[in-house]
Structures are given as structure tokens and as C-alpha cells.
Amino acid sequence: MDKDEAYQRLESHGIRPSLQRVEIMRYLLSHRTHPTVEEVYEGLSGKIKTLSRTTVYNTLRMFYEKKAAQMITIDEHRVCYDGDIHPHVHFFCNCCGVVYDLMNKRAPSQKRTVTDGFLVEDSQLYYRGICPKCMEEIAKKKAKAN
Amino acid sequence: MDKDEAYQRLESHGIRPSLQRVEIMRYLLSHRTHPTVEEVYEGLSGKIKTLSRTTVYNTLRMFYEKKAAQMITIDEHRVCYDGDIHPHVHFFCNCCGVVYDLMNKRAPSQKRTVTDGFLVEDSQLYYRGICPKCMEEIAKKKAKAN
DNA sequence: ATGGGTGCAAAGGATTTGCAACATT
DNA sequence: AATGTTGCAAATCCTTTGCACCCAT
């Protein structure tokens, strides 16, 4: 149960693997739902009785700064995180608030590059709109109305 | 001073042109600095004595919903708005917090399209890193240290 | 014993909500 | 009158900060 993917991700990004950090990374890697701080906290507070929100905040932020996770600011209300560090497009449903991956879409690479004197450290491509589920819901409601 | 660009932008997007709305749009169009709600409020509260933050919040949000402005969530701490509705890339400086336009970069179009059952209503491409100004500052500090 | 890591409680700050007043048709 | 618009005050909620404690080296 040691030396798993989570542990290795921390090591390879120069992050000391404390118990909390490993568990938070493990949560990120096993929940590909773009969790918020609150969700990670809720998900782990049963397993780590003393866990605090502050630690989750600090840890996720550090994962992002060390490029061990992606920070997603697609939802104006809350930041969420993604353990998948390959470039891919995120879709935010304006209706239900879920963040989806759009794997088929091409996204800019995450490599450090310099453009016009700007040092690019990371990039995010966001789409917003209505997800298939909500589209169906809306269609149902319309059908009922008639 | 009537029927200016701001007024027309509202009309063409189906927004009733109240005094506040026209002024807020005029502010957006004449300040290409990606202002926050607070900045718009500060900038106009001298001109419109009774203006409230609530109105600025509601109005900017509605501009975004009616596609009369872009909503930018690149900064995790605050939302900002852009009167330029042509697709272009935004760059956030992690150091000074300024949001820049990267005009030379290609951005996805803002047209409504359907991809894999997802209805895309708008898209945003964000780069984060260090801006030229801050790069220079850092270089200066390094030079001094030696 | 020293520095890094954690966690509690409090503070901070952006945004929303409820509701009353106001304007406009 | 009816509807849409504005604005104040209060509430909400995400996030940060300060500080003390703890753990490992």
C-alpha cells in the first residue's frame, strides 16, 4: 500500500510525502471528479480524524504550484483540482455545475514556454455550456409542457 | 454622446439600456484592463452617485449571460470582465496579478457548437505564469544579490 | 533544538439574497 | 397598475492568516 502512484507522484515532484499529503494525492488520483477542497476534506476526514480544511487548502495549492496537480478555476464560485496532469479540455455545465473532461479536444501543452516575453507556466482551456444530461432534462420538460 | 458603441452593444444583445447599464458597458469598452466588479464600481461611483455594488454585480453577470461581455475566471480570487468579445487568450501573472491579452495566440471561436452532446456556449483559454515586467524585476533583484 | 508540517479559531473578502424603493411603460 | 430596475443591509460562504503544537531529523 506504500510506494503507490500517489506516493510516486509526490516524490517525482519534490514534495515530502507526509501522511496527509499522500492521502490527499491518493484521493485526487482515485476520484476523477475534479473535487473541490470541501469534497477532498469530506472524503478524507473519516479516514484521517484530525484532518483540517487548512491542510487540504495548503496541500492542494502546493500540488498545483509544484505541478503535481492542475488547478481549475472554471467555476467562478470555487476552485477545484485535477490529479490528471495531461493537457485536456474542461467543460463546465452552467446548469448542474459539474466539471467534465473533454478528452477528444486538443488542449495546449503544459510545457514551460516563453511567448512575447511572457513566461507561461501552465494553461487551461475551458468550455462552458450545457451538458448532455441537462440537455435531456430540458428536452423532457419541454415535451411535458406540450 | 447617446447611441455610442456602448448603447449599441446593449441594443444588439437584447439588453434594455438603463443609465447604469450604459455607463457600465461604456466603462468596459473604454477600460481594456479586465476590470473586476470593484474596479467598475470605484470607477463609476463618482459619476453615478447612487450606484451600488449589487447593480454592478448583476449587470456584469447579465452582460456575460447575454454574451455582451466575457467573464474571466483566471484569477481564483476574483472574477473580472472583458468588453472585448472577440476570442483571444488571457494571461494571468502569478506575480503581480495583472490579466493581459495575448492577441497573437489563436483562441477557440466563441460560436455555439455541439461537441459529443455538450452544448458549448463560450470558451476561455488561459495562460498563467510571469509577465515581462515581473521577469525584469526578478532579474534586477538577482543582479543586486551578486 | 530546529525546521517543516499540521490544525484550530478567527479574520477577511468576494458574492449573493431579501426586500423595499423607484422608475418606466 | 404592472413590470422591470436599482440599492441597501445582512447573510453566506470560500479562503487565508496567525499562532500554537507536534513530529521528525
Q: Which protein residue lies nearest to nucleotide D6, measured between its Cα and the C1' atom?
A: B55
Pairing label, strands B99-102, B113-115:
unpaired
Which residue, among B93, B116, B131, B136, would best test binding to A if mutated, counting the most A CBs under 10 Å from its CB?
A: B116
Q: What is the 3-state secondary structure (H, E, C) of A63-113?
A: HHHCCCCEEECCCCCCCEEECCCCCCEEEEECCCCCEEEECCCCCCCCCCE
Asked if the Cβ–Cβ distance from A129 to B120 is below 8 Å, we say yes
Nucleotides of chain D in contact with protein CB (under 7 A) are 4-9, 14-18
Provide the CA B54 to C1' D11 distance, Å, integer: 14
Asked if the Cβ–Cβ distance from A102 to B118 is below 8 Å, we say yes
Q: Which uninterrupted H or E stretch holds B126?
A: strand B118-130
pLDDT reported for residue A15: 97
Q: Which uninterrupted H or E stretch holds B133?
A: helix B132-145
pTM value is 0.93
A96-127 exposure pattern, b = at least 16 Cβ within 10 A, e = fewer: eeebbbbeebebbebeeeeeeebbbbbbbbbb
Q: Which uninterrupted H or E stretch holds A5?
A: helix A5-12
For residue A53, give the nucleotide whose C1' atom is nearest its CA: C7
Q: What does the pLDDT look like over B40-93, one tens digit per residue?
A: 999 999 999 999 999 999 999 999 999 999 999 999 999 999 999 999 999 999
Using CA atoms of A96, A100, A102, A106 in order, give the dihedral in degrees to the nearest 10: 110
Nearest to A115 among B94, B105, B112 (CB): B105
DSSP letters along B8-75, please?
HHHHHTT----HHHHHHHHHHHH--S--BHHHHHHHHHTTSTT--HHHHHHHHHHHHHTTSSEEE--S
pLDDT reported for residue B145: 63
Q: What is the spatial distance between Cα B85 and Cα B70, in angstroms, rounded to a whole number?
A: 6
pLDDT reported for residue B1: 43
Contact (Cβ atoms closer than 8 angstroms) between residue A83 and residue A29: yes
Length of chain A: 146
Residues of B in contact with A94 (CB under 8 A): 121
A27: left (phi over 0), alpha (psi -120 to 50) or beta: alpha
Q: What is the spatial distance between Cα B141 and Cα B146, in angstroms, rounded to a whole number?
A: 9
pLDDT higher than 70, residue B21: yes
Q: What does the pLDDT look like over A79-118, one tens digit per residue?
A: 999 999 999 999 999 999 999 999 888 888 878 889 889 9
